[in-house]
Amino acid sequence: QIQLVESGGGLVQAGGSLRLSCSVSTTTYVPRCMGWVRQVPGQARETVAYIDSDGAPSYADSVKGRFTISQDDKDDTLYLEARGLEVEDTAVYYCAGDTCFYAGWDGEPEDYRFWGQGVQITVSI
């Protein structure tokens, strides 16, 4: 069983920063690919960043240069450093993971099998 638990969300003014954390608990294996997916009510989910099976990060254009994804080698905790936050970044942010053992895996929201409960980031003017 794999459990992902996010923390670190909150309310921040535009231009501010937040760091999200995702702890990974597993009795089987650690997902090879992990990412952060966000969702605004009434809108489709969007992958903002993920780390692929080679450890390489990828970012959505909307957050490139502002967000940084990383993972701790010791305990597999996943982080998202979000800087220069904009009102448009307001959403629920989910930690997600997958084995990504198949060709064509590209970090899209539908590619993930394991999900955290989500944390809210609200950016105010």
pLDDT in tens, 105-115: 899 999 999 99
Query: Radius of gyration over alpha carbons of the chain, in Å?
Result: 14
Partners of 100 in the β-ladder: none
pLDDT in tens, 79-101: 999 999 999 999 999 999 999 98
pLDDT in tens, 59-81: 999 999 999 999 998 989 999 99
